[in-house]
Amino acid sequence: MKADLILRSNNIFTSTSDTPISGGVAIKGNKILAVGEEAETFCGPETEVKEYGNKLIMPGFIDAHVHYFMGALAASEHVCDALITSSSEAECVAIIKEFADQHPDEERIRGFGWFPANWNDAPLPTKKSLDEAIPDRPVYLDAADGHTLWMNSMALEEAGITPDMKPKSGSIGKLENGELSGLLFEPDAMAPAMAKVMELDIQKMKKLHQDFMANINKWGITSISEMTADDYNDTTYRNYSVVREMEKEGSLTCRLHLYPKLDGYRDFTKAVEYRKEFCSEKLRISGVKGFIDGVTSTFTGLLLEPYSDRPDTCGVNVPNAAKEDNADYITAANKAGLPVRLHCIADGSVRMALDLYEHSQKENGKLPFYNTIEHIENIHPEDIPRFSKLSVIPSMQPYHLTLDFNEKIGRIGKERCRWEWPHRSLLDAGACLAFGTDYPVVDFNPFPSLYAAVTRLDDEGVPTGVNPEERITLAEALTAYTAGSAKAYNRDDIGALEAGKLADVIVVDRDLFSIPAEEIKEAGVELTIMDGRIVYEK
Ligand SMILES: [Zn+2]
């Protein structure tokens, strides 16, 4: 048998060993035939050969944590993302009015990125200012943290929001006179309106998916996920179905792993039904997603001991579910064969999640898959060895450590900050790290993340946090971003360059191993192959 394509380089990082090898990667159809010197034996008269000199060939990046549907929409021309620059309600309204005027064909006006913290802590906005500026089309403006939606009267009406609605969690904003204020707080309350936000005609949806995927392929990413904990409703089914149609048409250029909702469910029949329908190599239900806490910046991250700058609180268990209820949800999901991924920012939620996974293992026996804990911004050192013991994957976003601006030192104190984003300690304790971005929280370009993990410096070269001893090597960071993330998706057919694996292969525009660390963040991609097909070439 001869290869369709051979990529040659002096530096091939396979993710199965720490040192690059030389030779080639031979590809036939959508699979890898051979790697290294052996690849040459598959070279026939019809084989296309591409020479890359010293440039690094490696497995496609696997971003372990992406909010795909919201992210793809927010990146499209259908959403005004300039709200992020606004410094007051009036300025924000002026920006969205200009967007509306420039987009007469959009039947709904969508915006993203307003944030009261950037408005000098002015009072929260209301529908009134939007009604005056845009009275004739529904307006939906999502806050920068995705936890509040601001709408005009037409949008409230279109989405069927009424003052007496009682969402499972969160709340419906009201004015003093009891009438709707135009604000919805937290995902459950926002759901009917978000369904409208996601409503676009099918051709527009496909176009925005294709554009977005082309963009991520440009950065060498071949696998991503949908981590928004979508509920089991028509909007979700429609979103998933559009991508499935694209797969049938051959226009899906990135593998997408779907994680619908965990919280509140004791019966996962619906998730299992979804999984039967969405179960291909490119699009599949890979488990379910839940939350244990919020974020430390708003004191909703759950700590074991009180906040240093607010001794009255340890934070909150955000879905407001008792530990016993969470135990039921997780055990039931695992029993139905669904891996669980839990959002846990702070040491209290991380410990709770580990306890809950331990409980599930007691009830279900040894699981044939990995559960994960997402984020882990800080952890109690005693919990670090439990990851490898319980086969739980720490799924982390190294670039986030540069965004913290050392805020946590004030919030949780220096001593606990020693255990912020503890990549090195987790690896040393035998854990398998998975890396990603949490896009759209930060950009999906993986190179700044690798740089942050290797140096523990921010983009300006300033140390982030107090624990440079948590640096890891480039090989470890690349492994986390490929083989490690593949494990978080419970897959062994991607994430490494080995005979028999699916051909998700990229060529980086330089040899990352022989450049100074500062240059890692400047790197780009020369070629991206997904499923044996070239999906990007510089
Ligand atoms: Zn997330």
Structure tokens at 464: 């982030």
Q: From the CA of 67, how far away is ligand 1's center (Å)?
A: 6
- What pLDDT is stored for residue 183 in this prediction? 94
Q: From the CA of 126, how far away is ligand 1's center (Å)?
A: 27
Q: CATH 3.10.310.70 occupies which residues in the chain?
A: 79-197
d(CA 25, CA 40): 9
- What pLDDT is stored for residue 235 in this prediction? 87
- Phi then psi dihedrals of residue 344, to 5 deg: -140, 110
Q: From the CA of 260, how far away is ligand 1's center (Å)?
A: 13
pTM of the model: 0.93
Instruction: Using alpha carbons, select from 496, 504, 450 the residue that is nearest to residue 13.
Output: 496
**Which protein residues have a CB closer than 5 Å to ligand 1 (ion)?**
227, 438
Question: From the centroid of its chain, how far is CA 288?
Answer: 14
CATH fold of 5-59+504-508+520-537 reads Urease, subunit C; domain 1 (2.30.40)
- What pLDDT is stored for residue 318 in this prediction? 66
- DSSP secondary-structure letter at 491? -
Q: From the CA of 456, how far away is ligand 1's center (Å)?
A: 21
Angle between helices 187-197 and 234-249 (to 10 degrees): 50
- What pLDDT is stored for residue 319 in this prediction? 67
Question: From the centroid of its chain, how far is CA 517?
Answer: 25
Report domain 79-197's class.
alpha beta
- DSSP secondary-structure letter at 481? I
- What pLDDT is stored for residue 189 in this prediction? 87
Q: Other CB atoms closer than 10 Å to residue 151's CB: what's the count?
A: 31
Contacts with 532 (C-beta within 8 Å, 6 or more apart), sequence order: 4, 5, 27, 28, 29, 30, 31, 502, 503
Report domain 202-494's class.
alpha beta
Q: From the CA of 482, how far away is ligand 1's center (Å)?
A: 19
Q: What is the side-by-side order of every strand in the sheet holding 61-62? A: 61-62, 221-226, 255-258, 283-285
Q: From the CA of 185, how far away is ligand 1's center (Å)?
A: 18
Question: From the centroid of its chain, how far is CA 309?
Answer: 30
**Total residues found in the chain within this entry:** 538
Q: From the CA of 53, how far away is ligand 1's center (Å)?
A: 38
Q: From the CA of 28, how far away is ligand 1's center (Å)?
A: 36
Q: CATH 3.20.20.140 occupies which residues in the chain?
A: 202-494
Per-residue model confidence as pLDDT tens for the chain (538 residues): 999 999 999 999 999 999 999 999 999 999 999 999 999 999 999 999 999 999 999 999 999 999 999 899 988 999 998 998 999 999 999 999 999 999 999 999 999 989 877 888 788 899 999 999 999 999 999 988 777 899 999 999 999 999 999 887 778 999 999 999 999 987 788 989 998 998 888 999 999 999 999 999 999 999 999 999 999 988 899 999 999 999 999 999 999 999 999 988 999 999 999 999 999 999 999 999 999 988 887 788 899 999 999 999 998 776 667 888 999 999 999 999 999 999 999 999 999 999 999 999 999 999 999 999 999 999 999 999 999 999 999 999 999 998 877 778 888 999 999 999 999 999 999 999 999 999 988 889 999 999 999 999 998 999 988 899 999 999 999 999 999 999 999 999 999 999 999 999 999 999 999 999 999 999 999 999 999 999 999 9
Q: From the CA of 198, how far away is ligand 1's center (Å)?
A: 18
Q: From the CA of 442, how far away is ligand 1's center (Å)?
A: 10
d(CA 444, CA 60): 13
Burial class of 466 by CB neighbour count within 10 A (0 to 12, 13 to 18, 19+): middle
d(CA 318, CA 293): 5
Instruction: Using alpha carbons, select from 223, 225, 326, 336 the residue that is nearest to residue 274.
Output: 336
Q: From the CA of 481, how far away is ligand 1's center (Å)?
A: 16
Q: From the CA of 224, how far away is ligand 1's center (Å)?
A: 12
Q: From the CA of 405, how far away is ligand 1's center (Å)?
A: 19
Burial class of 269 by CB neighbour count within 10 A (0 to 12, 13 to 18, 19+): exposed
- DSSP secondary-structure letter at 321? -
User: If DSSP codes are grouped into helix, strand and coil, which group holds residue 495?
Assistant: coil
Q: CATH 2.30.40.10 occupies which residues in the chain?
A: 5-59+504-508+520-537
